[in-house]
A and B are shown apart, each in its own frame.
Chain A
Amino acid sequence: MNEGIRIFPDSASTFAPQVDLLFFTLVAFAGALGLFLTGLVIVYAARYRRNAPAARHRARGRSLPFEIAWTSATTIVAAIIFAWGAALFLRDERIPSDALVVNGIAKQWMWKFRHPGGQREINALHVPRGEPVVVRLGSQDVIHSMFVPAFRVKQDVVPGRSTELWFEATKTGKFRLFCAEYCGTEHSKMTGWITVMEPEDYADWLDRQAQAPSMAEEGEALFRALGCSGCHGASSEIRAPELAGIFSRPVATETGTVTADATYIRDSILQPDKHVAAGYRAVMPSFDGLVSEAELQALVAYIRSLSLDEEVPQ
């Protein structure tokens, strides 16, 4: 691993070249402006040092054209950089709907990942090259942050909410995973490796792992064990919203329309009164404290699977 002096990080995702282009444009701009100003000060310092023979008519101490010129130039340059950074940021916000969903749990001081088929990994994550992957993140304790420098991605993992980080790897190989948000004693040990494999190697690798129930199957079992099916089931006596086909679709609620994403499902389990579906009474009890962060992810995976038979909205 010791490669001596490194100046450039690995570049292994579709984001990396976009971020680097802006980064190096900024390096060029900052370098040029910084060196120009430094050069200017050095030239002045040498030319106008005391006793140096140079023309010095009484300066007026201000020049309105200069001041207007640099104020507007600075504003324009700032606006351009802002727009560039913001446009990329917004574009990268949209997660492709066909992305492979991996669930991740952060806790002091390790990363636990589960593939859709139920395969588990600790401080390591195998992903296929050339396919969008979304990591749905939850924390069991404090705030952590999932950071993969080679992909130029980072997302805080916040207890009490579900966050998502996505990427599409472009190169096979092993890339470092760091926790970027300080989380206590062994923060600097909360690291791991992302292994990018060709899709067929990834499929082989998944097959070779210890077989466990898939995330959706585990979620389905929980769905029954917690009694969710008693009301949300098709033949239930109590009227509760049908869950098949709702994932990623708009849901009408008393207070407006929300999208039934992972966060909405999670919130509806823990705080059912927050967004009651229109036309239903708020009779569902809260499951806060009864389900762990990993179980919530399994339930979300199950409810999502109920929508996968149909076409996923684009």
Chain B
Amino acid sequence: MTDAVTGKAPDTGSYLGEKHGPRAWLLSFDHKRIAWLYLLALTAFFFIGGAMAVMMRLELATAEGDLVSDDTYNRLFSIHGIIMIWFFLVPSIPATLGNFLLPLMIGARDLALPRLNLASWYVFMGGSLFTLFAVLMGGVDTGWTFYTPYSSIYSNSYVSAAAFGVFIVGFSSIMTGINFIVTIHRLRATGLTWFRLPIFVWTMYATALVMVLATPVLAASLILIVAERVLGLGVFDPALGGDPLLFQHLFWFYSHPAVYIMILPGMGVVSEILPCFSRQPLFGYKAVALSSMAIAVFGFLVWGHHMFVSGQSAYAGILFSLFSFLVAVPSAIKVFSWSLTLRRGSIRFPTPMLYALTFLFLFTFGGLAGLFLAALVVDVHLHDTYFVVAHFHYIMVGGMVTAFMGGLHFWWPKITGRMYPEFWGRIAAIATFVGFNFTFFPQYILGYLGMPRRYHSYPEEFSFWHVMSSAGAIILAVSYLMPLVYLGLSLVRGRPAPADPWEATGLEWRTSSPPPQENFDETPTVTGPAYDYINPEPEAQDKGAQHEHGQPERSP
């Protein structure tokens, strides 16, 4: 079944070798090169945001506020959130892996709108650098949530500039979203029907829909903040006749669906990795595909669960709680399906698989914590405590970042034409698992004890768990720095990768590694379902065959 096209040396006839020099990269319409532009920018933002997290954890290693001042601490967590949410997590998988793989997975030569794709990167860079400039000028201290009237009237930091930068970056999201939707509708290869699409493509589709529909509301609310700050327009400040809760409604109307923008692509990556290394079709393919769409739709109906104690009506709270529990159902369907995909497989554990299993574990425990927060009376106690911090880091970091790392290793041979060092990859994946749990599990306990979030100093009685969390953060930081080093080195030293190093079935593996500029020498056609993995017969493998008592070839 494996393709015969193998082992071309990289750089000959590949998209990497076409043209050199900054112009050839910065003005390229090739989705593969644009993916690299995004990857470099997002990596930089990830480590800037991560450095701020490390500084926060160092400050919190002691109960007193002694390392940095309170104003500095407030800027640290605000910028950490702004960078990580808007300049890393929202674009992370779609703009890098999605950009690179979406056309390859559906057998297309490029995205439908290549110029829009390049434009989206420039818009992204313009907006994000503008915000970064605001940060260097003195920072912003409103938290990533920009709650009014603090942000619109009281804060004397560079709120307008930061919000304006995020506003601009929103257009880049919309451009990417439109591009993906058009591409998936129009450019699928012959025979590639909707229910033959890889789940990764389904999640890109769901993500793109949410990006296009929700981002404009964020844009509106950020512009209203700037209007109130700069023009004195009374929108949110009660002293000017505005309503501060209006902002929270507008903000979460975007930002809750945005949470799904930030996790659906990770679900897509894991849905590719698990079947490949289990040699099994994805369990319950249709249910997994449709649950992504269900999450995207229900995600729009739950924003008020961020506002149970804000003073909104108790009956509104009850409806939002009900919808929040409903959105748990499609997530649970996915978790069960991923787990059962392993059943009766023939499982290998290279680095991407370790990351995928880490995702499965952390996403499950992060998701289960969500049940606590959706239960009204429990949320009254846990809201705005470290329990919430732990919950969303389990999903966003334990889930999305882990999936991103898994996907990066999985498709690294395809993207670069080089293999990464397997030994170091596994060490990094295991270090991520250990470091992550040490960092964030104690935060669940802190939250239940009543430790509020966004505190620069805290009472002594919380010390034990904070110290443990800070120690874990160091391990976690190392586990993220390791791939930076060995993946970087593998670009020059890595063993050349064959076309399909994992014996995977997707269309992207049917072309050389790295792919030619036109993606495929021959336009592929599709005749079967996705994940058409065949469980290798144990006899056919090697020693131990004589001990085999199974009957792998019994007809289905």
Query: A residues within 8 Å of B by Cβ?
Result: 1-9, 15, 18-19, 22-23, 26, 29-30, 33-34, 37-38, 40-41, 44-45, 48-51, 53-63, 66-67, 70-71, 74-75, 78-79, 81-82, 84-86, 88-90, 92-93, 108, 141-143, 145, 147, 149-150, 152-156, 158-161, 163, 176, 178-189, 191
Contact = CB atoms under 8 A, between A and B. Distances in A.
B115 interface: no
Contact of B314 (A79, A90, A176): A90
Contact of B154 (A4, A88, A108): A108
Contact of A182 (B454, B531, B535): B454
Given A19-B378, A44-B342, A70-B336, A56 B535 contact: yes
Interface residues of A: mostly helix, strand, loop or mixed? mixed
B380 A54 contact: no
Contacts, number: 301
Contact of A178 (B285, B336, B450): B450
A8 B150 CA distance: 33
Contacts of B454: 182, 187-188
A188 B454 CA distance: 8
Contacts of A160: 238-239, 243-244
A86 B346 contact: no
B538 interface: yes
A23 B287 CA distance: 31
B377 interface: yes
Interface stretch (B8-16, B469-477, B490-498, B546-554): B546-554
A143 B155 CA distance: 12
A104 B324 CA distance: 32
Given A45-B347, A159-B149, A1 B460 contact: yes
B147 interface: yes
A30 to B, nearest CB: 4
B339 A37 contact: yes
Chain B contact-residue range equals: 35 or more
B70 A185 contact: yes
Contact of B378 (A26, A108, A147, A183): A26
13 contacts: A44-B345, A53-B538, A55-B344, A59-B535, A79-B325, A81-B375, A90-B318, A149-B450, A180-B453, A182-B453, A184-B141, A187-B70, A188-B70
B550 A55 contact: yes
Interface in B261-314: 278, 280-287, 308-311, 314
B380 A178 contact: no
Contacts of A1: 459-461
B449 A30 contact: no
Contacts of A63: 283-284, 340
B180 to A, nearest CB: 27
Interface string B334-372: 011101101111111100000001001100110011011
Nearest to B332: A74
B81 to A, nearest CB: 11
A264 B516 CA distance: 70
Given A81-B374, A86-B321, 8 more contacts: A19-B380, A29-B371, A45-B347, A51-B541, A57-B554, A71-B332, A82-B374, A184-B154
A61 B282 contact: yes
Nearest to B549: A53
| Interface core residue of A30, A88, A161, A183 (most chain B CB under 10 Å) | A30
A48 B70 contact: no
Contacts of B280: 59, 61
Given A51-B538, A56-B535, A188-B65, A181 B147 contact: yes
B30 to A, nearest CB: 35
B376 A30 contact: no
A156 B285 CA distance: 44
Contacts of A82: 321-322, 325, 374-375
Contacts of A37: 335-336, 339, 360, 364
Given A55-B550, A78-B328, A160-B238, A9 B147 contact: no
Interface in B43-70: 65, 70
B314 A66 contact: no
B361 A152 contact: no
A142 B159 CA distance: 15
B513 interface: no
A45 B342 contact: yes
B5 to A, nearest CB: 25
A63 B336 CA distance: 12
Contacts of A6: 449, 461-462, 464
A142 B149 contact: yes
B376 A3 contact: no
Nearest to A147: B452
A142 B238 contact: no
Interface string B365-403: 100110110111111110111000000000000000000
A204 B391 CA distance: 45
B360 A56 contact: no
A49 B347 contact: yes
Contact of B357 (A45, A71, A149, A161): A45
Interface in B532-550: 535-536, 538, 541-542, 544, 547-550
B326 interface: yes
A201 to B, nearest CB: 25
B138 to A, nearest CB: 14
| Interface core residue of A3, A81, A161, A191 (most chain B CB under 10 Å) | A81
Nearest to B456: A188
Given A81-B325, A92-B377, A186-B70, A55 B345 contact: no
Given A145-B384, A154-B381, A182 B143 contact: yes
Nearest to A70: B336
A71 B464 contact: no
A84 B384 contact: no
A71 B74 contact: no
A156 B310 contact: yes
B187 interface: no
A41 B371 CA distance: 22
Contacts of B385: 180
A212 B283 CA distance: 72
Contacts of B374: 81-82, 85
A147 B346 contact: no
A313 to B, nearest CB: 20
Contacts of B285: 61-62
Contacts of A60: 556
B6 interface: no
Contacts of B380: 19, 89, 92, 152-154
B427 to A, nearest CB: 19
B517 interface: no
Contacts of B452: 147, 178-180, 188
A79 B552 CA distance: 42
